[in-house]
Structure 1
Amino acid sequence: MAHVPQVKIPATYIRGGTSKGVFFRLQDLPERCQQPGKARDKLLLRVIGSPDPYGKQTDGMGGATSSTSKTVILAKSSKPDHDVDYLFGQVSIDKAFVDWSGNCGNLSAAVGSFAISGGLVDPARVPENGICTVRIWQANISKTIVAHVPVTNGEVQETGDFELDGVTFPAAEVQLEFLDPADEGEGDGGGSMFPTGNLVDDLEVPGLGTLKATMINAGIPTIFVNADAIGYTGTELQDAINGDAKALAMFENLRAHGALRMGLIKELGEAAKRQHTPKIAFVAPPTTYTASSGKTVEAGEIDLCVRALSMGKLHHAMMGTAAVAIGTAAAIPGTLVNLAAGGGERAAVRFGHPSGTLRVGAEAKQADGEWTVTKAIMSRSARVLMEGFVRVPGDSF
């Protein structure tokens, strides 16, 4: 009986922040997959185990959640003053497509480490002991990220005592700077991080009525609404929403209408093919609640509560890019995020999410009536879980 042999492709499986993904060096991919296109997408789908009508990704590296159905391609940077080009692919679980429309902030924490270990950073720039500053070009959104990676005895340090809510074990801290994170290339706002031109809009959504919404392009396009306006408290855990088909349909309806208003899509039907962006999130004033780990998050510990959905499901913690959007919006007086945190000017915010808390800082300023943000800062961690080869059938791409 004829059969198609499997092919081996060098790859590394890495946790970055509260996500996991399969990392590749561009040079290691099969030649026809080194360029964007169908062959590359089919390869990544097969590596992850998608599309899977069972929703389990059993025959691939994916973990059957938006946080674990991710791929990364890295190459030495072609941009001046950058070390590595970082391309992120969010792989759909049950559908045959890879969404290239945005970044993954969590996996950004692993890019610097992988780039150093994979020989993509000039060895002369890597200290024997100390912090290696890796300058990353985020190719999906054409932005710069600076990763500060700890190095011990000439090698990336992965273990440490930094604890990140949503990750079970401690690891080494990696500080990330998202420079000029506002995405000014999309929407109708004429270059503004607020594509509608407003800090708060009245968003009409059939079946929901008119909701107050802050729609921002920073880190990743994100739509914020008030929790109480849609019947929630902002303290919900995953089971409260992900098992409710009507709730998920409501959020997708809200997300699609927000995407249309932001100018990210031209008609509502396009939202189904753009699952990764925009994100939808709801905010509430600080409230005491029990996190998914069983730990009590006290209202006095946080500035506000935020819950966000990714790829149609409530996220177990917080997407890194959405955290950038939260920090940026919190720094701008008058947004729904800022108002939920008590209003006024602030350079940093600590918010509660389903797994615990996260602090993110942002430097925002207003000039000529336009808000700009120079950078957002937060700490994550990263750890290599496995390295070697992935195998896929030779006819799968």
Structure 2
Amino acid sequence: MSAPQIKIPATYMRGGTSKGVFFKLTDLPAAAQQPGKARDNLLLRVIGSPDPYGKHTDGMGGATSSTSKTVILSKSSKPEHDVDYLFGQVAIDKAFIDWSGNCGNLTAAVGAFAISNGLVDAARIPQNGLCTVRIWQANIGKTIIAHVPMTGGEVQETGDFELDGVTFAAAEVQIEFLDPAADEGEGGGAMFPTGNLVDDLEVPGIGTFKATLINAGIPTIFVNAADIGYTGTELQDAINSDAAALARFETIRAYGAVKMGLIQDISEAAARAHTPKIAFVAPPQSYVASSGKTVAESEIDLLVRALSMGKLHHAMMGTAAVAIGTAAAIPGTLVNLAAGGGAREAVRFGHPSGTLRVGAAAAEVAGQWTVTKAIMSRSARVLMEGWVRVPGDCF
């Protein structure tokens, strides 16, 4: 006889241009409160992966990298922090969860969830104004500060802040990524793991490309759009409908990961599909975004397109935006050069859904570049809350 379903308290939230299923650690079944196979199997079943049909019909996932996400939150174990944030990127067509990086978009929802679910000390929550939530990002060992608007003692979710890639306006949540360069597990703590602002990345069978390899927000490989046959104005279908192009991007990503010291051999890239990201940049030019809105050349500093979990992202990953802002602030990187070069503290870049502004404070100290923080605005909203149900024997 098959095991009956069990129900687990959960909240379905949008954060930035992503959405995912949020859990309090203590609400998970005991076997899933620790890292390991039981936790992974449970979350895979929640999302509906692996799904050979690529639809997530039998789960909460949305069958894209932006919507196949899980978050586990708990009261922080770190001094001067409110909440520990653990992110799992769920693969769609295979039984795999990548725990190697953060989701910057869902970070915008972490503060709201933490406040509403008793993870923030009540004494630190204002009746009105902004609540400063101190987040420990457990995947990468970094501090993030979320400024969450409050009205009448409740999280304010509605508002007039518009975010390209999100259909409806909502309340603005400002996010500060402190010291976003690499942690010890991601390239030994170096922002530029090769020591260079620009490298020659040799990819056998494809070519040699100029590349900026940076650890900030999330490990990211930047190449010039023109060097790989693109303009930087491409929308999703232009890339995602081209199987040969996706295979080339994955090969470039794998060789870049080796050069960054994240893996030892390209065969290991499949086991960390979430990181590093690969993106291509170009100088500004006008284009029509996926919504049909025209983005004028005069509105942006550069164009950026990025891939996530093997597909071109419909907007921009929040962590990749941190990498973009950081690289743009450092003269000589490919991102900085695409934006016109020189010193800058913020850029507005064009992505498939529109534009995004991100700022970063970078400085060169004793010949080494450092970045103290990157800042961007996002929004978040609870979509549904209650219980998610899964077969009791799935984990």
Counterpart amino acid of 2:224? N
Q: 2:196 aligns with which of 198, 215, 226?
A: 198
Rounded to whole Å, the distance in 2 between the matches of 1:31 and 1:209 is: 50
Counterpart amino acid of 2:311? K
Counterpart amino acid of 1:296? T
Counterpart amino acid of 2:126? P
Rounded to whole Å, the distance in 2 between the matches of 1:209 and 1:8 is: 51
SS in 2 for 1:52: coil
Rounded to whole Å, the distance in 1 between the matches of 2:186 and 2:344 is: 27
Task: Using the TM superposition, give the Cα deviation of residue 250 of structure 1 relative to its aligned residue in structure 2, in angstroms.
Answer: 0.3
Alignment correspondent of 2:352: 354
Return structure 1 stretches of 4+ with deviation > 4 angstroms: none
SS in 2 for 1:87: strand
User: What percent identity do the matched residue pairs reach?
Assistant: 82
SS in 2 for 1:172: coil
Instruction: Calculate the TM-score normalised by the size of structure 2.
Output: 0.99
Rounded to whole Å, the distance in 2 between the matches of 1:43 and 1:166 is: 30
Rounded to whole Å, the distance in 2 between the matches of 1:46 and 1:273 is: 19
Q: 2:273 aligns with which of 269, 275, 280?
A: 275
Rounded to whole Å, the distance in 2 between the matches of 1:219 and 1:192 is: 12
C-alpha contact 1:307 1:314 (8 A) present in aligned 2? yes
Alignment correspondent of 1:315: 313
Q: 1:222 to 1:152 in 2, by over 3 A?
A: same
Deviation digits for residues 110-149 of structure 1 (CA, Å, limit 9, x no counterpart): 0000000000000111101110000000000000000000
What pairs with 1:96-115 in structure 2 (closer than 5 Å)? 96-115=95-114
Task: Using the TM superposition, give the Cα deviation of residue 387 of structure 1 relative to its aligned residue in structure 2, in angstroms.
Answer: 0.1
Counterpart amino acid of 2:262? L
Q: 1:361 to 1:261 in 2, by over 3 A?
A: same
Task: Using the TM superposition, give the Cα deviation of residue 103 of structure 1 relative to its aligned residue in structure 2, in angstroms.
Answer: 0.1
Instruction: Calculate the TM-score normalised by the size of structure 1.
Output: 0.99
Rounded to whole Å, the distance in 2 between the matches of 1:123 and 1:366 is: 40
Rounded to whole Å, the distance in 2 between the matches of 1:179 and 1:100 is: 20
Instruction: Report the RMSD for the aligned CA atoms in angstroms.
Output: 0.7
What runs of 5+ residues in structure 1 fail to find an aligned partner?
A: none
SS in 1 for 2:379: strand
Q: 2:329 aligns with which of 328, 331, 341?
A: 331
Alignment correspondent of 1:172: 171
Rounded to whole Å, the distance in 1 between the matches of 2:137 and 2:123 is: 23
Rounded to whole Å, the distance in 2 between the matches of 1:388 and 1:108 is: 21
SS in 1 for 2:71: strand
Alignment correspondent of 2:259: 261
Task: Using the TM superposition, give the Cα deviation of residue 3 of structure 1 relative to its aligned residue in structure 2, in angstroms.
Answer: 2.3
Counterpart amino acid of 1:122? D
What runs of 5+ residues in structure 2 fail to find an aligned partner?
A: none
Alignment correspondent of 1:241: 239
SS in 1 for 2:66: helix
C-alpha contact 1:23 1:74 (8 A) present in aligned 2? yes
Rounded to whole Å, the distance in 2 between the matches of 1:299 and 1:191 is: 36
What pairs with 1:35-114 in structure 2 (closer than 5 Å)? 35-114=34-113
Alignment correspondent of 1:289: 287
Q: 1:209 aligns with which of 207, 229, 243?
A: 207
SS in 2 for 1:67: coil
Q: 1:231 aligns with which of 229, 232, 235?
A: 229
Deviation digits for residues 57-86 of structure 1 (CA, Å, limit 9, x no counterpart): 110000000000000000000100000000
Rounded to whole Å, the distance in 2 between the matches of 1:138 and 1:238 is: 29
Rounded to whole Å, the distance in 2 between the matches of 1:216 and 1:186 is: 14
C-alpha contact 1:226 1:336 (8 A) present in aligned 2? yes
Counterpart amino acid of 2:9? P
SS in 2 for 1:270: helix
C-alpha contact 1:19 1:106 (8 A) present in aligned 2? yes
Task: Using the TM superposition, give the Cα deviation of residue 208 of structure 1 relative to its aligned residue in structure 2, in angstroms.
Answer: 2.1
SS in 2 for 1:79: coil
- Is the counterpart of residue 125 in structure 1 residue 114 in structure 2? no
Deviation digits for residues 209-235 of structure 1 (CA, Å, limit 9, x no counterpart): 110000000000000000000000000
Deviation digits for residues 125-176 of structure 1 (CA, Å, limit 9, x no counterpart): 1101110000000000000000000000000000000000000000000000
C-alpha contact 1:251 1:280 (8 A) present in aligned 2? yes
Deviation digits for residues 299-334 of structure 1 (CA, Å, limit 9, x no counterpart): 000000000000000000000000000000000000
Matched length? 395
C-alpha contact 1:186 1:195 (8 A) present in aligned 2? no
Counterpart amino acid of 1:24? F
Rounded to whole Å, the distance in 2 between the matches of 1:333 and 1:182 is: 17
C-alpha contact 1:127 1:154 (8 A) present in aligned 2? yes
SS in 1 for 2:49: coil
Task: Using the TM superposition, give the Cα deviation of residue 97 of structure 1 relative to its aligned residue in structure 2, in angstroms.
Answer: 0.8
